[in-house]
Chain A
Amino acid sequence: MVFKNHPYLVNLSLLVTALLLSAAAGPVFIPPGTVSRILADKLPGIALQSDWPQAFETILFRIRLPHTALMALAGAALASSGAAYQGVFRNPLADPYLIGVASGAGLGAVIAMSIHWPAEWRGLYPIPLAAFAGAVLTIALVYSIAKVGKSLPTTTLILAGVAVSSFATSLTSFLMFRSTSELRRAIGWMLGSSVLTGWAPILASLPYAVIGMGALVISGHALNVLQYGEEQAQQLGLSAEKSKALILVAASLTTATAVAFTGIIGFVGLIVPHLVRILWGGDYRRLLPLSILGGAWFLLLSDLLARTLLAPQVLPVGIVTALAGAPFFLWILRSAKGQVFW
């Protein structure tokens, strides 16, 4: 099947398609011809007669394009760190939120939401910052609890992660109940939302996400070796504990960056790596870059549905990822019946 032999081509094509559709579609219809002219006009040296309403330019450059970029980045971040977590923990149920990033970020965000920040501080994005800080602190806490000498036993890590997560989540729920006026806002954030406009959010996330994903992409070989367990990996010459730590830190950082600006979007980090595995195998040198591409188009398409399905209502994208993604994944799973892919 041609499909199977050209994974990069297929995923890149899907990504480009998703990017175009995401930029072109929305509740306000801008004819594709106009879109290309508006974009062309922005190129240096070209000046076209602007026969389009100013609103189109605002919509395209201040709302749609930054939002598209942010969703693509978030999807790539979540899927690649999901793949990395699955590799480190050697567990198909692992997702980027396993050891506490989501609950830590949620707690940080809800605390920030309960505080009435001076109005001038709004531009400093207290909520994304607090979410990021919450995520990072939680991971650091879990890490220090689970560490035994120089090693990081995976079972202890999972258990510590689950315990700390549960604690953070209940604290968050308590806070949400206490300030019920912020309840809807908090719930909306938890399900994945991105209200902010302009290029600031994506510019702020880009450095961390690129560094994090870059570190993951080059760790494919190490993850392959780690599939045999820490002892065999060490016997094969890999510093297993150091590798695990590096990969986990990179994956957690990547996830925290995504979550800070887009809230907690579920399903992408868990399913996209499996999708890639079923179709193109479990070699992590390929799985990671393909997850980056796959996560990007998957989230872009989910977000497109979230914005257009019930227009003018905007569904939280976290609802659509599972709602639309699960049947799609099950279809793929059925067609791959009998195949061993884990």
Chain B
Amino acid sequence: MLEIDSLTVNFGKFTALEKVTLDVKPGEVLAIIGPNGAGKSTLIRAASGVIPSTSGSICIGGQDLKGLSISERARCLAVVPQARSLPPAFTVYQTILLGRTPYLGWLGQTKAQDHFLAQQSLEKVELGKLSERRVSELSGGEQQRVLLARALAQGAAVLLLDEPTTHLDLHYQALLLNLIRRLVSENNLSVMMALHDLNLAGLYADRVALLVGGKIWASGSAKEVLTEENLAEVYAMPVHVIPHPDYGTPLILPDGRGMTVSH
């Protein structure tokens, strides 16, 4: 569903992304991992069309993003940003309803259909009881779920998530990612998410792409990408990789004790 071909993004002289080629099929979750500054967020932003790309193409279901208007784009691709300084004036329901914007006119006139879908998204993320609460009164995990519901209300086939588990504790990390997996299989979505927790990537993603310095270092299944050689080189420190006792997915154990500053 989502095909990124040879995407290059330059900010002046600095090359943030270089010839990135990825694809995500329907019903699939692709995790983008990599060190800080690798360009994960840039990739999400470029893929959604909010920053211009120097070369390369982004296609959704065969349609090039460049040929679509802004609202057409928003109907096929939704982004779940990090839950940071959300406008506190709106309620949970109002926030989710804004996800219907690509289908509303300038005046924002909503129809019964829009309310139905917003309500549906609200229930999918299990926030029904908090519908009339102000967003500022929610916890980080709940706010993240609100944004997820908003993206779902967009009715897009492709979902991009930018580090959705940052600031969430173990419980909410698992809750959110399980929810995403469920939604992916129920609605046949294509999901690309940037993660910096390698273990979560191993547990929840079908495929993993390792992004370093704006380039794809490795991509494939979790087992193929999350190897001791790859990770030791990319993160410049020794790691152990062992299989998860229950699921067999790669578990990364960093071995950084005694590490000094490298040049």
Contacts and interface: CB of A to CB of B under 8 A. Distances in A.
B90 interface: yes
A340 B136 contact: yes
B98 A236 contact: yes
Contact of B45 (A231, A282, A285): A231
B49 A234 contact: yes
A234 B81 CA distance: 12
A225 interface: yes
Interface in A215-262: 218-222, 224-225, 227-228, 230-232, 234-239
B70 interface: yes
A41 interface: no
Contact of A235 (B48, B106, B108): B48
Given A235-B78, A238-B70, A283-B94, A221 B104 contact: yes
Contacts of B77: 235
B87 A235 contact: no
Contacts of A230: 50
Interface string B73-103: 1110111010000111110001000110111
Interface string A271-283: 0000001000111
Interface residues on A, range: 20 to 34
A235 B107 contact: no
Contacts of B71: 237-238
Interface of A: 218-222, 224-225, 227-228, 230-232, 234-239, 277, 281-283, 285, 340-342
Contact of A237 (B45, B89, B101): B101
Contact of B102 (A220, A236, A340): A236
B73 A237 contact: yes
Contact of B89 (A231, A232, A234, A283): A283
Given A231-B50, A341-B89, A237 B75 contact: yes
B99 A236 contact: yes
B144 interface: no
Contact of A340 (B73, B98, B134, B150): B134
Interface residues of B, number: 32
Interface in B13-57: 45, 48-50
Given A236-B101, A236-B102, A238-B101, A224 B108 contact: yes
Contacts of B89: 227, 277, 281-283, 340-342
Given A224-B98, A227-B89, A236-B98, 14 more contacts: A221-B101, A221-B107, A222-B106, A230-B50, A232-B81, A234-B70, A235-B48, A236-B102, A237-B70, A237-B75, A237-B154, A282-B87, A340-B136, A341-B89
A239 B134 contact: no
Contacts of A232: 79, 81
A238 B74 CA distance: 9
Interface in B61-75: 70-71, 73-75
A239 B106 CA distance: 10
Contacts of B108: 220-222, 224, 285
Contacts of A236: 74, 98-99, 101-102, 150, 154
6 contacts: A218-B106, A225-B98, A235-B79, A237-B101, A281-B89, A340-B89
Interface string B125-168: 00000000010100000000000001000100000000000000
Nearest to B48: A235
A277 B134 CA distance: 14
Contacts of A225: 98, 101
A226 to B, nearest CB: 10
Closest 3 CB pairs of A and B: A221-B108, A237-B74, A282-B89
A87 to B, nearest CB: 10
Nearest to A285: B108
B118 to A, nearest CB: 13
Contacts of B107: 218, 220-221
A51 to B, nearest CB: 52
Contacts of B106: 218-219, 221-222
Contacts of B103: 237
Nearest to B80: A235
Most chain B CB neighbours (cut-off 10 Å) among A224, A235, A341: A235
Contact of B90 (A220, A222, A283): A283
